[in-house]
Chains A and B, each alone.
Chain A
């Protein structure tokens, strides 16, 4: 491309110039660029669409009241209050309970599949896990309400599970839902650890447990943390299960209060954003403010995890 072919050059020499201008290739390149650009554009558009009503919301409600208020009574009526803390706490409680279930179970399954299971068994179980990860969340919500709740009411008779809804049951349901995700992503990370590292450790007389914990686990840590972060993001953003099984009462309570019902940020948005909501009203703006906060929370979590991974990663090759 840097030198030009002499126009008056020797005709008999073979030309290196393309026989056609190759428009097709340029067209494909342009098309692919538009596709890539579109996804960036859409993401930006989502952020802006969240941002505009949110900024509008804060002209009516102060940021301090929103972030640090402890009463969540949005909408019409005389005693409105926009303290978002109770529903943030509800979200965090559900997420915490879900992760307490999903991370140990998921990681141990991943260890089993990657290090202990017979290859034939793994070939069957891995696709099954991936199918399980695709169960509609509505079905998980119903499972929580009609199976898990009575089950835990019988299992833990000392816990007050009289109400229909419980943050504990909803959290555990979300946790069970994301177990396959954690297991699958973590297993991929463990399988990616070069077999030579395992052999080196076995040759030193290490047991399977030691190889798993001291060699495979640290070498796969970045993928394992990614699995956990993905799980947390799923749990924070989960809407349907909590809408069905967690209830609708914004409360400032700890995650250990198993039988209490809570309202999460997503469930608030889900139950408020119905057809009869008028655009431009304060309620309308509220759901966007809550959505924006949810977005910021997920973003912060992802940033923290990226730093964690950089710090603990064991780089091989």
Chain B
């Protein structure tokens, strides 16, 4: 059951890889959550991770900015290279990693502070110099939120709608000028209109950032992403061991129209999952 790698190698020559995953497995304690994933993630593309619940797509995403470090007993095996450097080398500080790689979560999680302070939190954490008002404005414009909130920057972020809160979280993530933005089902708590706005925003943002998005919504993956990775649950010998595996990784177009693996075909056509 090796993941399809043939087509990947063809692309390597054309695009610059930001992440190179080499036989990455993630464990929670003795439980394996993700098994042996190898894939490259390319600059200024949107890469979607799709698959049924429990297939480890969020776990895999969180291994890209070392968020799994926050969970006791979580452990990553294999190599995650970020711009050629081993991200899990003992000399690397996870805090430094997260400064370069931003993240947007499933549920909007603005801080219970003003809109302004939410956006300024990251730049202040990094000790960014320059006019903070300008940094905040640029980030809010980048997240297509400036016109909505410019007159109430001092208001509490929890007074906003869910879609606005999520765009605020995106503004917060891009305020620190990261290189990559990881999105963990960013639209799952939003209505279709807000979802559409976030998707438009993602297409805009990929000009400046590399985006990796986990989604349970296949249409969303088809609409926004350039590359799609399909993961699936594998059952182990006994009933309690189950983990996620990468089935196929290719251009989104191909995954949705002419996938190489039958299981991918079954999933994207809605026959399973």
Instruction: Give A residues with C-beta under 8 Å from B.
Output: 118-119, 194, 196-207, 210, 214-215, 218-219, 314-317
Is B98 an interface residue, CB under 8 A from the partner? yes
Closest 10 pairs (CB-CB, A-B): A205-B99, A314-B112, A203-B103, A196-B109, A204-B122, A316-B112, A205-B98, A200-B109, A206-B125, A205-B95
Shortest beta-carbon distance, A62 to chain B, in Å? Answer: 51
Is B26 an interface residue, CB under 8 A from the partner? no
Whether B111 lies near A201 (C-beta < 8 A) is yes
Whether B72 lies near A118 (C-beta < 8 A) is yes
Contact flag A317-B158 (CB < 8 Å), given A202-B98, A204-B125, A214-B121? yes
A214 to B107, CA, bound (A): 21
Residue of B nearest to A314 (CB): B112
Whether B70 lies near A202 (C-beta < 8 A) is yes
Q: List 19 A-B contacts (CB under 8 A).
A: A199-B67, A200-B109, A203-B65, A203-B173, A204-B98, A204-B99, A204-B121, A204-B172, A204-B173, A204-B176, A205-B95, A205-B122, A205-B125, A205-B176, A210-B125, A219-B111, A314-B111, A315-B158, A317-B158
Instruction: Report how many residues on chain B are interfacial, defined by Cβ distance under 8 Å.
Output: 27
Whether B109 lies near A199 (C-beta < 8 A) is yes
Is B102 an interface residue, CB under 8 A from the partner? yes
A194 to B96, CA, bound (A): 24
Residue of B nearest to A204 (CB): B122
Residue of B nearest to A205 (CB): B99
Shortest beta-carbon distance, B119 to chain A, in Å? Answer: 10
Whether A218 lies near B113 (C-beta < 8 A) is yes
Whether A219 lies near B98 (C-beta < 8 A) is no
Is B105 an interface residue, CB under 8 A from the partner? yes
* Supplied contacts A196-B109, A201-B121, A204-B173, 19 more A-B pairs, CB within 8 Å: A194-B109, A196-B105, A198-B70, A199-B67, A200-B105, A200-B109, A200-B169, A201-B111, A202-B67, A203-B105, A203-B173, A204-B125, A204-B172, A207-B95, A210-B125, A214-B121, A219-B112, A314-B156, A315-B156
Which chain B residues lie closer than 8 Å to A119 at the CB level?
A: 72
Which chain B residues lie closer than 8 Å to A218 at the CB level?
A: 112-113
Which chain B residues lie closer than 8 Å to A196 at the CB level?
A: 105, 107, 109
Which chain B residues lie closer than 8 Å to A199 at the CB level?
A: 67, 70, 103, 105, 109
Is B6 an interface residue, CB under 8 A from the partner? no
Residue of A nearest to B176 (CB): A204
Shortest beta-carbon distance, B100 to chain A, in Å? Answer: 8
Residue picked from A203, A206, A219, A316, most chain B C-beta under 10 Å? A203
Which chain B residues lie closer than 8 Å to A198 at the CB level?
A: 70
Is B1 an interface residue, CB under 8 A from the partner? no
A214 to B105, CA, bound (A): 19
Residue of A nearest to B175 (CB): A204
Residues B128-173 near A (CB distance < 8 A): 156, 158, 169, 172-173
A206 to B98, CA, bound (A): 8
A199 to B110, CA, bound (A): 11
A205 to B69, CA, bound (A): 13
A303 to B209, CA, bound (A): 51
Which chain A residues lie closer than 8 Å to B109 at the CB level?
A: 194, 196-197, 199-200
Shortest beta-carbon distance, B112 to chain A, in Å? Answer: 4
Is B272 an interface residue, CB under 8 A from the partner? no
Which chain A residues lie closer than 8 Å to B122 at the CB level?
A: 204-205
Residue picked from A119, A198, A316, most chain B C-beta under 10 Å? A316
Is B13 an interface residue, CB under 8 A from the partner? no
Which chain B residues lie closer than 8 Å to A316 at the CB level?
A: 112, 158
Is B126 an interface residue, CB under 8 A from the partner? yes
Residue picked from B102, B105, B121, most chain A C-beta under 10 Å? B121
Which chain A residues lie closer than 8 Å to B173 at the CB level?
A: 203-204
B111 contacts which of A118, A197, A207, A317 (Cβ < 8 Å)?
A: A197
Shortest beta-carbon distance, B64 to chain A, in Å? Answer: 11
Shortest beta-carbon distance, A93 to chain B, in Å? Answer: 37
Shortest beta-carbon distance, B214 to chain A, in Å? Answer: 14
A206 to B72, CA, bound (A): 18
Whether A314 lies near B95 (C-beta < 8 A) is no
Which chain A residues lie closer than 8 Å to B169 at the CB level?
A: 200
Which chain B residues lie closer than 8 Å to A315 at the CB level?
A: 112, 156, 158
Which chain B residues lie closer than 8 Å to A219 at the CB level?
A: 111-112
Which chain B residues lie closer than 8 Å to A210 at the CB level?
A: 125
A317 to B159, CA, bound (A): 9
Residues B197-248 near A (CB distance < 8 A): none
A194 to B156, CA, bound (A): 17
Which chain B residues lie closer than 8 Å to A197 at the CB level?
A: 109, 111-112
Whether B98 lies near A203 (C-beta < 8 A) is yes
A218 to B172, CA, bound (A): 18
Which chain B residues lie closer than 8 Å to A314 at the CB level?
A: 111-113, 156
A317 to B110, CA, bound (A): 10
Whether A200 lies near B67 (C-beta < 8 A) is no
Which chain B residues lie closer than 8 Å to A204 at the CB level?
A: 98-99, 102, 121-122, 125, 172-173, 176
Shortest beta-carbon distance, B232 to chain A, in Å? Answer: 26
